[in-house]
């Protein structure tokens, strides 16, 4: 573990050093992200980078590669490096709390985006109310089942059980569906672990075990990619309708073809931008709101055209 922390520390040091040399007067903000596989997280990076460039600040980005402890180690390293602020997309929202508290004690503000930190010492949260948005897509789903499927459906779920926010999306969805009173049967919930290949395998196993399944709900981008790939590869596009989170090129094609019905689309670039802007305000001695909500959109055939340019 000491060797792992040393390697993480060195990686963070190199990242900071490569951008901060010769810019001693510029603010340096660190973005601790989950991975660089998902388009969603890369869009957070892009939005934050553009905002940093506009503010004349330096941004360093740490890729935790889905390892919760790596985020703690990175924050500790950035504290040692005395960055001016930290942006955190947390994997383990409880496990990372001591590192956030340490940053606060060192006078370094932490802005959490995407994942809320329960009773954490971060100065602000920027992102989506995931439980409410989960309920919103759940309500959309039940309305669809009622109007298009005769009020009956069997649903399988591809989640990421190590992700606090995706569990919130699942909880909100299930409550809305249950409260609807429609004849909807929940089948298995499988763990895609926020990794596309894992989600694909889990989705295929889910479909094989439940041949009578008529709908799928995926709680994040890797889960949705896995679900879309599984439905396609198993030739089930004619009898399984898919609902999920975070558009991809494959999901847009599924919407065009009619079997991906609705996808919750966030504004990850907007979240990254807002986080840098919040840290910039704090550095100037200004105040920021403790919660900054970024709205979501449920994308269907009716409004998908406005998102096509993202995937060209």
Non-local (6+) Cβ contacts of 296 within 8 A are 128, 133, 136, 264, 265, 266, 267
- In this structure, what is the dihedral angle of CA atoms 85, 90, 126, 98, given to the nearest 10 degrees? -60
Which residues make Cβ contacts (< 8 Å) with residue 137, sequence separation at least 6? 169, 173, 217, 243, 245, 262, 264, 298
What pLDDT digit, counting tens, does each position of 102-141 carry?
999 999 999 999 999 999 999 999 999 999 999 999 999 9
H/E segment holding residue 77 = helix 68-81
Contact 192, 223 (CB under 8 A): yes
Q: Give the pLDDT band (50/70/90) at residue 29.
A: very high
Determine contact, residues 268/47, Cβ cutoff 8 Å.
Answer: yes
Sequential DSSP letters for 179-234: HH--EEEEEEEEE-TT-HHHHHHHHHHHHHH-TT--EEEE-SHHHHHHHHHHHHHT
pLDDT, position 127: 93
Average pLDDT taken over every residue of the chain: 92
Strand stretches in the chain, DSSP E: 28-33, 58-63, 85-88, 110-113, 124-127, 152-159, 183-191, 215-218, 241-245, 260-265, 291-293, 297-299
96 vs 137: CA distance, rounded Å: 29
Q: Region 17-33: what's the mean pLDDT?
A: 68
List CB contacts of 203: < 8 A, sequence separation 6 or more: 158, 190, 192, 216, 223, 226, 227, 229, 230, 231
Average pLDDT value for residue range 176-185 = 97
> Model's pTM, two decimal places?
0.77
What's the rounded Cα separation, in Å, for the pair 214 and 239? 6
Residue 164 pLDDT > 60: yes
Whether the predicted pLDDT of 85 surpasses 60: yes
Q: What is the pLDDT of residue 11?
A: 45
Distance CA 184, CA 197 (A): 28
Q: How far apart are CA 301 and CA 162, in angstroms?
A: 31
Query: Which of 148-152, 164-168, 297-301 has the least mean pLDDT?
Result: 164-168
Q: Are 158 and 227 in contact (CB under 8 A)?
A: yes
Q: Where are the alpha helices (DSSP H) in 106-129?
A: none
Mean pLDDT computed over 8-33: 60
- Count Cα neighbours of 275 within 13 Å in the Cβ-side half-sphere: 36
């Amino acid at each position: 573990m000491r060797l792992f922390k040393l390697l993480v520390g060195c990686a963070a040091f190199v990242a900071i050093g490569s951008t901060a040399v010769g810019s001693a007067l510029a603010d340096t903000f660190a973005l601790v992200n989950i991975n660089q596989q998902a388009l969603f997280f890369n869009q957070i990076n892009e939005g934050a980078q553009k905002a940093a460039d506009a503010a004349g600040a330096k941004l360093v980005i740490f890729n935790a590669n889905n390892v919760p402890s790596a985020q703690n180690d990175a924050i500790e390293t950035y504290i040692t490096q005395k960055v001016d602020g930290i942006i955190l997309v947390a994997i383990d929202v409880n496990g990372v709390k001591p590192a956030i508290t340490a940053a606060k004690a060192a006078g370094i503000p932490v802005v959490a985006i995407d994942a809320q930190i329960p009773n954490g010492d971060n100065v602000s949260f920027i992102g989506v109310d995931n439980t409410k948005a989960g309920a919103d897509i759940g309500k959309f789903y039940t309305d669809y089942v009622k109007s298009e499927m005769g009020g009956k459906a069997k649903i399988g779920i591809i989640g990421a059980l190590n992700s606090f926010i995706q569990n919130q999306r699942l909880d909100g969805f299930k409550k809305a569906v249950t409260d609807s009173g429609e004849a909807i049967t929940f089948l298995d919930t499988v763990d895609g672990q926020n990794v596309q290949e894992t989600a694909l395998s889990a989705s295929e196993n889910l479909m094989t075990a439940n041949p009578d399944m008529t709908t799928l709900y995926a709680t994040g981008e890797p889960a949705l990619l896995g679900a879309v790939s599984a439905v396609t590869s198993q030739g089930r596009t004619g009898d399984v309708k898919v609902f999920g989170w975070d558009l991809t090129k494959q999901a847009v094609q599924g919407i065009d073809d009619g079997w991906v019905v609705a996808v919750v689309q966030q504004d990850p670039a907007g979240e990254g931008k807002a986080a840098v802007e919040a840290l910039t305000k704090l550095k100037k001695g200004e105040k920021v709101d403790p919660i900054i909500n970024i709205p979501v959109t449920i994308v269907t055939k009716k409004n998908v055209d406005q998102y096509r340019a993202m995937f060209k």
